[in-house]
Amino acid sequence: MDQEMTQKRCRWRNTYRNPLAQVIILGLICFLLPGMFNAINGLGAVGKADATITDNANTALAVTFAVCSILAGGFFNLVGHRVLLILGGFTYILYIGSYLSYNTVFVISAGAILGVGAGFLWTAQGAIMLSYPEEENKGLYISIFWTIFNCGAIIGSVVSLAIEWHNDNNHVSNETYIAFMVIMGVGTSLTVLLLPPSQIQRRDGSQLIAKTQSTSVSAEVMAILKLFKDWKMLCLIPMFFSSNWFYTYQFNAVNGGGVFTTRTRGMNGTLYWIAQLIGSFLMGRLLDYKHAERRKRAVCGLSILFVATMAIWGGGWAFQDTFTRASAKTLDVSTKIDLSDSRRYAGPVVLYTLYGSFDAMWQTYCYWLMGALTNETEVAARLTGFYKAIQNAGAACAGQVDAKKVSYAVELLINWVLLILGIIVAIPVALSLKDTLKTITAKDLEDTGEMESQAPVPVSTWKVDK
């Protein structure tokens, strides 16, 4: 009996230490934190009638998010993922709580603080998600994480939809905000379940490559700065920059601009996040297709993104042509589009659902591309920090464009152009990928700074001019 119990404990311990289990736990944490944030943000203006304060708060969030993300990779390597995730969780709770008072200064300040916490959380998330899986499963693990994470937004949208079903006002109730704060508190507490890289056991027997020596603040700063000298990272800046820009237009103009009733906005948000599951899964499986070399998969993924960009945003232009910023504000409840009016609602809901699927495909591709450049947790943290910094620099610009009351049609065109540019400039990176990586150690980072391949085994390493 004792031997049987010991074997069960060993099996449980091995399962718990498996990268998939850790990615699932990470997904649950993000399910309850940024997933819930996305749900309420997807209502437009975080559920409020006027998007101006939210635009300014989101700009403050994006600016501090961008700045913090540049440094967060270094913090990750200095203090580990648990500290970053816990601190990040508390900032999400504070931000949602600020809408209970709806004091302008408090909301904007909470947005700035959330930017710091979100930078910590997403850098830790990216480091874990990109480095824990085996090379051949990175697309799968990214899609699994994305599915769990977006279930948070789905459930959050359903909760807000249920609460607001009979609400004819253009804003959500305090009960909604309180419910979200409680859920986020649970998510923050789950961070204690994540294991450090040194305790991870892969099924194929390979070891996770973590820090091989202690690091310092100065060493981390130098390693992060070297990213801005690498041609691949520079080529990916347009793709990263555009990856959150479209949220402002989709949430505040399309869903929150005044065209839909409050409960319809909740339904739109629910379908938007459900579509994310499908988009991420399909893109992840394509990028992990084992019968094609990595370069071909990368180019195929870019091709699909280009077709989706032209088709979906072309449809968005057709819908945008039916209303303006000014005309949407003049609609009353009886003239807004409601989910009960299938004739008027069918086209817009399909479009908004496709917007959600497109977002997941884009984000999954970005993460997979970074995962194709390194297998090491320490480097993955820096790459993710770089990605989130550029991403939120774009989000900050998008928030201010909306806050300046630029026409919705112009906002859509800016999104469209940025997305096309991001795809085109990323082509050289996709063509440069190798089928396998020789992962470098922390010591190698002292002497290297640019990714290149070395014979006889295709590798990706870092090199800097002496």
Domain ranges of the chain: 19-197+211-431
By C-alpha distance, which of 427, 430, 462 is closest to 447?
462
pTM above 0.85, yes or no: no
The string of pLDDT tens digits covering residues 12-59 is 777 788 888 999 999 999 999 998 887 777 655 454 545 677 778 888
pLDDT at 67 over 70: yes
Residue carrying structure tokens 């906005």:
265
pLDDT confidence of residue 135: 81
pLDDT band at 449 (very low <50, low <70, confident <90, very high): very low
Q: How far apart (Å, rounded) are the C-alpha atoms in residues 350 and 339?
A: 12
Which is the CATH superfamily of the domain at 19-197+211-431? MFS general substrate transporter like domains (1.20.1250.20)
The string of pLDDT tens digits covering residues 132-147 is 888 888 999 999 998 9
Q: Which residues contact 195 (CB under 8 A, 6 or more apart)?
A: 16, 17, 22
The string of pLDDT tens digits covering residues 278-314 is 999 999 999 998 888 999 999 999 999 999 999 999 9
pLDDT at 447 over 70: no
Which 3 state secondary structure label does DSSP give 207?
Answer: strand
Q: How far apart (Å, rounded) are the C-alpha atoms in residues 426 and 431?
A: 9
pLDDT at 452 over 50: no
Helices 34-41 + 81-101 axis angle, to 10: 30
**H helix runs in 190-293, sequence order:** 217-226, 231-242, 245-248, 262-287
User: 211 vs 149, which has greater pLDDT?
Assistant: 149
Q: How far apart (Å, rounded) are the C-alpha atoms in residues 349 and 330?
A: 21
Q: Which residues contact 5 (CB under 8 A, 6 or more apart)?
A: none
Residue carrying structure tokens 């027997």:
205
Q: DSSP state, 197?
A: G
Query: Are 463 and 322 spatial neighbours (Cβ–Cβ below 8 Å)?
Result: no
328-359 burial code (b ≥16 CB/10 A, e <16):
beebeeeebbbbeeeeebeebbebbbbbbbbb
Q: How far apart (Å, rounded) are the C-alpha atoms in residues 80 and 305?
A: 34
pLDDT at 464 over 90: no
Distance, first Cα to last Cα, the chain: 63
Q: DSSP state, 206?
A: P
Residue carrying structure tokens 């540019």:
421
pLDDT confidence of residue 170: 53
The string of pLDDT tens digits covering residues 227-284 is 888 999 999 999 999 999 999 999 889 998 889 988 888 889 889 989 999 999 999 9
Lowest mean pLDDT among 156-160, 281-285, 331-335, 448-452: 448-452
In terms of average pLDDT, the best of 99-103, 161-165, 348-352 is 348-352
CA 145 to chain CA centroid, Å, is 11
Region 385-401 average pLDDT: 89
Strands (E), 340-431: none
In terms of average pLDDT, the best of 82-91, 194-203, 219-228 is 82-91
Region 149-167 average pLDDT: 73
